[in-house]
Amino acid sequence: MSQKKEKMNSKKCHERMCICCGQMKEKGELLRIVKTKDGDILIDKTGKLNGRGAYMCNDAECIKKAESKKTLERSFKCKIPDGTYEMLNKEFAVET
């Protein structure tokens, strides 16, 4: 187990970078996408799923960009199953 120690003395500790546009945002403004150890790509609404996580803006434009640039593929270093971006888009459509 190799854990990176993060000091919690910074106000920025809740900020994460969008893998698509590179903007730093509060965790609450981003969607967490997780690759499980089985290789499934899931949207982690609770923030508690185990696996490798990536953050993306809660923004349909960012999803579109991610899809065309294959940002998730690069981030997770694997093939993203068909329908994943579609799933993301639906997720974004629900949240306003």
Residue ranges binding Zn ion (CB under 5 A): 18, 20-21, 57, 62
Please, what is the Cα angle at 89 between 83 and 93, to 5 degrees? 145
Q: How far is the CB of 25 from Zn ion (least distance, A)?
A: 8
Question: For residues 35 and 92, which CB has a smaller minimum distance to Zn ion in the complex?
Answer: 92
Q: How far is the CB of 74 from Zn ion (least distance, A)?
A: 14
The whole-angstrom separation of Cα 63 and Cα 68 is 9
φ and ψ at 85, to 5 degrees?
Answer: -70, -35
Q: How far is the CB of 92 from Zn ion (least distance, A)?
A: 11
Question: For residues 39 and 69, which CB has a smaller minimum distance to Zn ion in the complex?
Answer: 69
